[in-house]
Amino acid sequence: MNWPLFSVVFTIALTVVIGVLMVTALVTGFNEIVHIRIVIATGLLLSLPISWYFSKKLGNITGNEEGYGA
């Protein structure tokens, strides 16, 4: 796996997923600290498989699945 690519995709995916979940939680009235922590944990858990999937796909497109031109 291309770990540098994974870390970039994970950072982007984590920001987007937590942002979408946070806006949804705040609009629907779940604005207590417990709900915000649940949103952060859920965003973290959802971002891992999303970033793994897309980093594999991007690695296959570029032909650099192993990282650093290996």
Domain assignments of the chain as residue spans, ordered by start:
3-62
pLDDT tens profile 25-39: 999 999 999 999 999
The whole-model pTM stands at 0.82
- List all residues 6 or more positions away from 65 whose beta carbon is below 8 Å from its beta carbon: 1, 2, 56, 59
Radius of gyration of the chain from Cα atoms? 15
pLDDT at 60: 80
**pLDDT given at position 67:** 53
